Structure 1
Amino acid sequence: MFKKTNGVTPQGFDTLVGNNAHFDGSLKTSGLLRIDGVFNGDIEVDGDIVVGEDGKIVGNVKTSNIEISGLVEGNVTASNQLKISSTGKLFGDIEVSSFIVEEKGIFDGKCKMKKDVVKGMEVIKGNKAEQKAQ
């Protein structure tokens, strides 16, 4: 999901909401967005989002990938991966392709996994799979 150097997420962010920032409104952007302050409103990113340990989002989020180490209160749609770290908290419903929660991470909401094709098996509602005709 995110390229790492020595176990650290890269610092090449396209958009940053810093520790002392408090933002109210909606944001539409592309690239890598990092939230270390407070963001009240909806976010749509054609790219990835990192919510730092002190970061807080109150609103709905639509993105490719998101890594949460802080707090998100709202619904999240991630076309690829959503990861909640051990310090992360997510209160809201999610729609994702891949979902990871580290030990001590908190998720309170409903989860909908997007329909996907995996190694000749078609994943359908209810975690049932049917072998594709060959």
Structure 2
Amino acid sequence: MFNNKEDVNVSVKDAETIIGPSIKIKGNFHGQGNMIIEGIVEGSVKTMNRLLIRDKAKITASIEAKEVRVGGEVQGHIKVGGYLEITSTAKIFGDIETSEISIERGAIINGKINMIKEVKNSEKKQ
């Protein structure tokens, strides 16, 4: 999890997918590994691991991930199974579902925050 500053950033070598600052994507974007978004995404973003949304990123999409750090702008629903970190540069316009959250001073959130219980693998099978 993102328990300290070293763990917060998904490094380039640990990222399965990187959407660079000059890239614009429209559509459903789904993957299994860590993702870094620096560009523009419209549609949906889903990963089973970590998602890092950098400061200059602009996302108009529903987002679903295990852990997320938001530094850029997101318009849409965010669902996080684990930890969500919202930095001071983040702008979120949409509802949030997460089991853990951290919000830095200066972040803008216009939406509802719903705290949910994290679902463990053993609970999913029952």
Instruction: Give the TM-score band, short-chain normalised.
Output: 0.7 to 0.9
Measured after TM superposition, the shift of residue 7 of structure 1 is 8.0
Flag the 1:98–1:15 CA change in 2: closer, same or farther, 3 A.
Answer: same
Matched residue, 2:123:
none
Matched residue, 1:110:
112
Q: Point out where structure 1 has 5 or more consecutive residues left out of the alignment.
A: 117-134
Flag the 1:6–1:71 CA change in 2: closer, same or farther, 3 A.
Answer: closer
Flag the 1:96–1:21 CA change in 2: closer, same or farther, 3 A.
Answer: same
- Which structure features the higher share of helix residues? 2
Matched residue, 1:74:
76
Identity in percent: 28
- How big is each residue's C-alpha offset from its partner over 1:85-112, in whole Å with a ceiling of 9 and x where there is no partner? 0111111001100011101011110111
Structure having the higher Rg: 1
SS for the counterpart of 1:14 is strand
* Separation in structure 1 between the aligned mates of residue 7 and residue 65 of structure 2, nearest angstrom: 25
Matched residue, 1:37:
39
Matched residue, 1:121:
none
Matched residue, 1:91:
93
8 Å Cα contact 1:42-1:60 kept in structure 2: yes
How well do the aligned residues superpose, as a CA RMSD in angstroms? 1.9
* Matched length: 116
8 Å Cα contact 1:4-1:10 kept in structure 2: no
Aligned residue type for 1:71? E
Matched residue, 1:130:
none
Are 1:57 and 2:55 an aligned pair? Answer: no
Matched residue, 1:119:
none
* Separation in structure 2 between the aligned mates of residue 89 and residue 33 of structure 1, nearest angstrom: 19
* Separation in structure 2 between the aligned mates of residue 78 and residue 25 of structure 1, nearest angstrom: 20
> What stretches of structure 1 move > 6 A for 4+ residues in a row?
none
Q: Point out where structure 2 has 5 or more consecutive residues left out of the alignment.
A: 119-126
8 Å Cα contact 1:84-1:106 kept in structure 2: no
* Separation in structure 1 between the aligned mates of residue 67 and residue 51 of structure 2, nearest angstrom: 6
* Separation in structure 2 between the aligned mates of residue 6 and residue 96 of structure 1, nearest angstrom: 18
Flag the 1:4–1:84 CA change in 2: closer, same or farther, 3 A.
Answer: closer
